Structure 1
């Protein structure tokens, strides 16, 4: 299966680098479980620019974005929905997790991701 490459605005590359350097605790915890193909041998990128946006984690092979939503998302609900809808038009699928869920019960979050992957591969 040929992977779809989603182009992005060049200025997002530096912003993504800054986001990687200033990750939240929950993003760091989840990244530690996703990096190095630890989850079912899948290759994930962190703070990945796609189109006009940056997603927290992205697996090109599955066109799967994983988002960890914390307090900063409480005030951006409409913006987040529009962003997700635009990326879904490009074929990106989303899994979203609450910041607190990642911190308190990462094993359950990982089980949920694995279950989704096994169902949608």
Structure 2
């Protein structure tokens, strides 16, 4: 038995054995096959957003698409920021309970989940990118507030 890993480090020997992102066993072949299919046949909104995210085009952030997490496949994942971006079409109006369970699972695993409507990706892509950047930015705390030049404590 070895020493515990420092915070943020993961046991590389687990991933060498082909285990999933959380070291809880292999990702089922069926889930991997489905994620490959989804990458091969994206929706129009997925393809457009991926064109803006791929290759670290958004402020150097690296995203992956159609990634298995647990028993789910997430649309876009930024591992470094622990951010999941889910694109929702009209079918999501009828599956709110499923989406809530999915979001709860992902948040329980330490991910932030940003849900974006397909229509917004297609009609307002820059606003979607701004929302993604806001989601990965640390929340401002009292020590991070900047004062205007006129308000320097005087």
TM-score normalised by the chain length of structure 2: 0.72
Counterparts of 1:18 and 1:100 in 2: how far apart (Å)?
23
Partner of 2:86: 67
Give the CA deviation at 1:80. 0.8
3-state SS in 2 of match to 1:61: helix
1:58 aligned onto 2:58: no
Counterparts of 1:70 and 1:78 in 2: how far apart (Å)?
15
Deviations 1:46-100 (A, max 9, x none): 0010001000000111111001100222221101110110111111111111110
2:56 to 26, 31, 37: 37
3-state SS in 2 of match to 1:119: coil
Root mean square deviation of aligned Cα: 1.6
Partner of 1:2: 8
The structure having more radius of gyration, on CA atoms, is 2
Q: Report the more deviating stretch, 71-80 or 81-90.
A: 71-80
* Alignment coverage as a number of residue pairs: 120
1:88 aligned onto 2:113: no
Which runs of structure 1 show a deviation greater than 6 angstroms over 4 or more consecutive aligned residues?
none
Alignment of 1:92-103 (within 5 A): 92-103=111-122
Query: Kindly tell me: are residues 108 and 54 of structure 1, through their superposed partners in 2, closer, same or farther at Cα, counting changes over 3 Å?
Result: same
* Structure 1 alignment gaps of length 5 or more: none
CA contact (8 A) 1:13 1:49 kept: yes
User: By percentage of residues, which structure has more strand?
Assistant: 1
TM-score normalised by the chain length of structure 1: 0.90
* Structure 2 alignment gaps of length 5 or more: 1-6, 11-20, 140-154
Q: Which has the higher contact order (CA 8 A, sep 6+)?
A: 1
Counterparts of 1:69 and 1:109 in 2: how far apart (Å)?
13
